[in-house]
């Protein structure tokens, strides 16, 4: 396994094969992208042509593909990549809740095989992140999860609201100044991307690092392990990821780690057999928390803001209609979650959605598609802030691996929407399609260009 060489052996011997995009089916190596079956019940899949999960067409409008897969081939095997695409809400929920048959061991494996030069860069940096949270199916997971969850529980999140509001207002002061000087501004780089980064740093007591560096490290980690970078780009990203890992390792090993901090709690944590948690596993937990806590939350805020600005009649109502902001955030999580897919691997032969899967089958759970399943959500293509069943979405997963930072992400996005609508009531979207982040498991607008003045 390409990434397993850096993470250590998989904790379950039933896991077989390499990364979901192995050497033969790796994007960018000449192997075919995901294709529809040549015959059978999913004939209209052929009408769509070839499915490329990284292609601009799919990234900008994945819904026709999601709808067709869910309707006609809900557990769809692609021989070119070896992935099983699981698109129905019920099947995805089954996978997430059954931790014995469907293991998380491959959740953080590199999508594109890393070349030897990039691996050398990571090795020189000592990069070796052991299973800790999202990719941990062992008996150490519940205890580690409890440590992390305590830092993002409802009480702490509620207490953090004034902090989030303060940082949001500081950033929006800069946005207003830029709009006044130039008439335009990118809300992603000036606000959506920075807000969760600064919040995370203050909540976790990180003060010896600037937000721009942490964001750059986090984004590089996502692109290296969930993207389709060229060999040269892999080298650039590996340097940044190596720096990130070295900083985390030094921080965890530091003599002045506050006892009441997340790192302090991890250092004091004991494994089920009583042994202290090793440094590499503590670093792995911090690695996941930092990336998920600020990059994916920034992606959520970006999608929330752009959607609210584009929705007729919505802006700037969230500023003065209290329930509207959290309701809009929840609809975005259902329809356009920042984490679009997640991975599992079967531990044994199992039936899913009427399809027999072998042991070691690599699953790609289409979380975004599950939020548009008409069996669960009425009129799923419509954005409705009065949707009674909205909390049934799977944007944060389900079961023992459900995102421990879900409450914080929801709160930050709602605060960001209210603050932006209040401070920028007259802005409107510039007439241009934004570039989109299109990694295997992450999707969001990378720009929100707005201009001053009425719509």
pLDDT of amino acid 80: 57
Write phi, then psi, for 331 (nearest 5 degrees): -65, -40
The HSE-up count of residue 59 (CA atoms within 13 Å, CB side) is 18
Contact indicator for 129, 3 with CB cutoff of 8 Å = no
Q: How distant, in Å, are the alpha carbons of 2, 83, 109, 113, 428 from that of 25? A: 14, 10, 15, 10, 43
For residue 18, pLDDT over 60 is answered with no
Indicate whether 419 pLDDT > 90.
yes
The Cα–Cα gap between 76 and 57 comes to: 20
pLDDT attached to residue 209? 86
Chain position carrying tokens 């356009």: 336
The answer to whether the beta carbons of residues 114 and 5 sit under 8 Å apart is: no
Output the average pLDDT for the chain: 87
> What separation in angstroms does the CA of 216 have from each of 201, 237, 364?
14, 10, 27
Q: What is the pLDDT of residues 306-349, one digit of tens each?
A: 999 999 999 999 999 999 999 999 999 999 999 999 999 999 99
Distance CA(410)–CA(327), nearest Å, equals: 10
pLDDT at 2: 33
* Section 201-221 average pLDDT: 89
Give the tokens for residue 172. Answer: 């929006």
- pLDDT digit string (tens) for 226-252? 999 999 999 999 999 999 999 999 988
Tell me how far apart the alpha carbons of residues 222 and 224 are, in angstroms, rounded to a whole number.
6
Which has the higher per-residue pLDDT, 177 or 8? Answer: 177
Q: What is the pLDDT of residue 243?
A: 96
pLDDT at 454: 62
List, in sequence order, every beta strand (DSSP E) within 138-268.
Answer: 184-186
Measured in residues, the chain has a length of 455
Q: What pLDDT, on the 0 to 100 scale, is given for residue 79? A: 67
Q: Mean pLDDT throughout 423-435?
A: 94
Predicted local confidence at residue 5, as pLDDT = 38
Measured CA distances, 230 to 223, 409, 438 (Å): 11, 32, 15
pLDDT range class, residue 81, cuts 50, 70, 90: low
**Mean pLDDT across 375-394:** 95
């Amino acid at each position: 396994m390409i990434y397993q060489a850096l993470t250590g052996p998989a904790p379950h011997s039933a896991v077989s094969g390499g990364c979901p995009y192995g050497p033969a089916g790796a994007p960018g190596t000449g192997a075919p992208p995901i294709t529809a079956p040549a015959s059978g019940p999913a004939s209209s899949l052929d009408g769509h042509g070839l499915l490329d999960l990284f292609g601009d067409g799919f990234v900008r409008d994945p819904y026709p593909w999601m709808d067709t897969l869910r309707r006609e081939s809900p557990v769809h095997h692609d021989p070119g990549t070896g992935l099983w695409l699981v698109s129905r809400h019920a099947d995805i929920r089954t996978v997430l809740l059954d931790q014995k048959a469907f293991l998380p061991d491959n959740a953080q494996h590199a999508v594109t095989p890393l070349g030897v030069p990039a691996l050398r860069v990571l090795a020189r940096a000592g990069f070796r992140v052991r299973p800790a949270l999202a990719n941990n199916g062992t008996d150490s997971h519940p205890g580690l999860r409890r440590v992390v969850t305590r830092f993002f529980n409802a009480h702490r999140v509620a207490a953090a609201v004034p902090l989030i509001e303060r940082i949001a207002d500081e950033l929006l002061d800069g946005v207003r100044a830029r709009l006044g000087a130039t008439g335009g501004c990118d809300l992603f780089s000036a606000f959506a991307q920075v807000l969760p980064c600064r919040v995370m740093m203050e909540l976790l007591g990180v003060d010896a690092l600037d937000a721009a560096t942490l964001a750059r490290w986090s984004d590089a980690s996502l692109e290296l392990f969930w993207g389709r970078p060229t060999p040269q780009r892999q080298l650039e990203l590996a340097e940044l990821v190596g720096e990130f890992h070295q900083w985390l390792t030094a921080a965890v090993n530091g003599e002045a780690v506050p006892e009441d901090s997340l790192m302090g709690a991890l250092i004091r944590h004991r494994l089920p057999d009583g042994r202290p948690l090793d440094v590499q596993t503590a670093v792995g937990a911090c690695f996941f928390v930092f990336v998920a806590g600020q990059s994916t939350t920034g992606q959520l805020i970006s999608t929330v803001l752009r959607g609210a600005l584009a929705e007729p009649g919505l802006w700037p109502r969230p500023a003065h209609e209290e329930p509207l902001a959290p309701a809009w955030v929840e609809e975005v999580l259902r329809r356009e979650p920042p984490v679009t897919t997640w991975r599992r691997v079967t531990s044994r032969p199992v039936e899913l959605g009427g399809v027999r899967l072998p042991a070691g089958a690599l699953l790609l759970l289409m979380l975004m598609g599950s939020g548009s399943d008409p069996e669960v959500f009425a009129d799923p293509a419509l954005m409705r802030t009065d949707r009674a069943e909205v909390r049934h979405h799977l944007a944060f997963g389900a079961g023992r691996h459900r995102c421990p930072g879900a409450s914080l992400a929801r709160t930050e996005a709602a605060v960001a929407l209210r603050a932006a609508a209040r401070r920028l009531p007259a802005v409107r979207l510039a007439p241009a399609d934004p570039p989109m982040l299109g990694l295997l498991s992450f999707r969001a607008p990378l720009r929100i260009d707005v201009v001053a003045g009425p719509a």
